């Protein structure tokens, strides 16, 4: 039987390069599935419905909340964002490691609901570099950029609660590091209690001993 995948939350300041990092991770390794969130914000240039997000109306979003079709949701810059539960469950059951690219509030909700979740925070090397990347993106007005920077001030308060802080300076390096972090999580003893019990039983059988005979 397939082993269940690991649930991973990736958050980070808007402009930290999470999008590029996710693309690089998914195209480099086939053990991951990226959850596609629902949002009420408008698509940015180049974004496709069902790929970056499911772009829905506020009415539809509220329906999803009522039907308990979301694992979590949060409001960000006057728009709703939420994680559809069926996609996540299906991929985890297939043995994929599922990545939720969600904000800090969502991360907190998911960690409370599923304590085994690995929380990873992506950041540029400095605040100046973050500002530069937001300006360079060119998709937003100075007011909106300032809004995202102010939001980053708040988000930084959540950084200590994350399991890992990953600096996205060189994309290729960062992708490898992210993969290494997630894969090493698979070997944590707490994730494989069944194996420990199984091998202990077998060892006792082979040596014809009981637990209390051990050293
Ligand atoms: P953007 O509008 O730049 O695509 O995303 C804005 C913020 O919403 C980012 O911090 C992103 O991680 C977060 N976000 C995207 N999808 C979800 C979601 O399903 N739930 C939550 N809580 N946040 C999300």
Tell me: pLDDT of 211 over 80: no
Higher-confidence position of 214 and 65: 65
Ligand 1 atom 9, closest CA? 103
User: CA 90, 94, 99 angle in degrees (round to 5)?
Assistant: 70
- Going from the Cα of 81 to the center of ligand 1, the distance in angstroms, rounded, reads 6
- Going from the Cα of 80 to the center of ligand 1, the distance in angstroms, rounded, reads 8
pLDDT tier at 125 (50, 70, 90 boundaries)?
very high
List of residues 6+ apart from 143 with CB closer than 8 A: none
Quote the percentage of the chain above a pLDDT of 90: 83
Tell me, using a 6 A CB cutoff, whether residue 155 lines ligand 1. no
Tell me, using a 6 A CB cutoff, whether residue 105 lines ligand 1. yes
Tell me, using a 6 A CB cutoff, whether residue 106 lines ligand 1. yes
- Going from the Cα of 59 to the center of ligand 1, the distance in angstroms, rounded, reads 19
Domain boundaries, the chain: 1-31+96-215, 36-94
Q: Using one digit for the tens of pLDDT, what is the confidence trace for 148-164? A: 999 999 999 999 999 99
Look up the CATH architecture of domain 1-31+96-215. 3-Layer(aba) Sandwich (3.40)
The span from the CA of 34 to the CA of 22, in Å, is 8
The confidence score (pLDDT) of residue 212 equals: 66
What DSSP line would sit under 107-166, residue for residue?
HHHHHHH-TTPEEEEEE-SSHHHHHHHHHHH--S-HHHHHHHHHHHHHHHTTGGGSSEEE
CB-based burial of residue 155 (10 Å sphere; 0-12 exposed, 13-18 middle, 19+ buried)?
A: buried
Q: Using one digit for the tens of pLDDT, what is the confidence trace for 168-188? A: 999 999 999 999 999 999 999
The span from the CA of 212 to the CA of 174, in Å, is 47
**Average pLDDT value for the chain:** 93
pLDDT tier at 4 (50, 70, 90 boundaries)?
confident
Contact between 73 and 96 under an 8 Å Cβ cutoff? The reply is no
Q: Using one digit for the tens of pLDDT, what is the confidence trace for 9-62? A: 999 998 899 989 999 999 999 999 999 999 999 999 899 999 889 999 999 999
Tell me, using a 6 A CB cutoff, whether residue 83 lines ligand 1. yes
Tell me, using a 6 A CB cutoff, whether residue 61 lines ligand 1. no
Tell me: pLDDT of 111 over 70: yes
For the segment 77-104, the average pLDDT, to the nearest whole number, is 94
Tell me: pLDDT of 213 over 80: no
Query: Under CATH, which number does the domain 36-94 receive?
Result: 3.30.63.10
The confidence score (pLDDT) of residue 1 equals: 47
Tell me, using a 6 A CB cutoff, whether residue 82 lines ligand 1. yes
Mutate to test the pocket of ligand 1, among 36, 42, 106, 150 (most ligand atoms within 8 A of CB): 106
Torsion of Cα atoms, 15 then 41 then 84 then 114, to 10°: 40
- Going from the Cα of 43 to the center of ligand 1, the distance in angstroms, rounded, reads 13
Distance of CA 54 to the CA centre of its chain: 17
The confidence score (pLDDT) of residue 57 equals: 97
Higher-confidence position of 75 and 138: 75
Mutate to test the pocket of ligand 1, among 81, 87, 101, 151 (most ligand atoms within 8 A of CB): 81
Q: Using one digit for the tens of pLDDT, what is the confidence trace for 189-209? A: 998 899 999 999 999 999 998
The span from the CA of 152 to the CA of 21, in Å, is 19
- Residue 95: both structure tokens together: 């043995």
Tell me: pLDDT of 84 over 70: yes
The span from the CA of 63 to the CA of 86, in Å, is 15
User: Ligand 1 atom closest to Cα of 155?
Assistant: 10
Q: Which residue stretches of 73-103 are H helix?
A: 85-93
The reply to whether 36-94 shares the fold of 1-31+96-215 is no
């Amino acid at each position: 039987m397939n082993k269940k995948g690991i649930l991973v939350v990736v958050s980070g300041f808007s402009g930290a390069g999470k999008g590029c990092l996710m693309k690089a991770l998914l195209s480099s390794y086939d053990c991951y599935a990226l959850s596609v969130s629902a949002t009420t914000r408008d698509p940015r240039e180049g974004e496709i419905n069902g790929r970056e997000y499911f772009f829905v109306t506020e009415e539809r979003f509220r329906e999803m909340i009522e039907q308990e079709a979301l694992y979590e949701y949060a409001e960000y810059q006057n728009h709703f964002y939420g994680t559809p539960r069926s996609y996540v469950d299906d991929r985890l059951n297939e043995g994929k490691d599922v990545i939720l690219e969600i904000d800090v509030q969502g991360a907190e909700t998911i960690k409370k609901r599923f304590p085994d979740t690995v929380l990873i925070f992506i950041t540029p090397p400095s605040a100046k570099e973050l500002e530069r990347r937001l300006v360079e993106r060119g998709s937003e007005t100075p007011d909106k950029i300032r809004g995202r920077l102010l939001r980053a001030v708040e988000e930084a308060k959540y950084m200590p609660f994350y399991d890992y802080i990953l600096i996205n300076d060189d994309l290729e390096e960062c992708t490898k590091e992210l993969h290494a972090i997630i894969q090493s999580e698979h070997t944590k003893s707490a994730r494989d209690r069944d194996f420990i019990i199984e091998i202990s039983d077998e060892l006792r059988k082979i040596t014809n001993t009981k637990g209390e005979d051990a050293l």
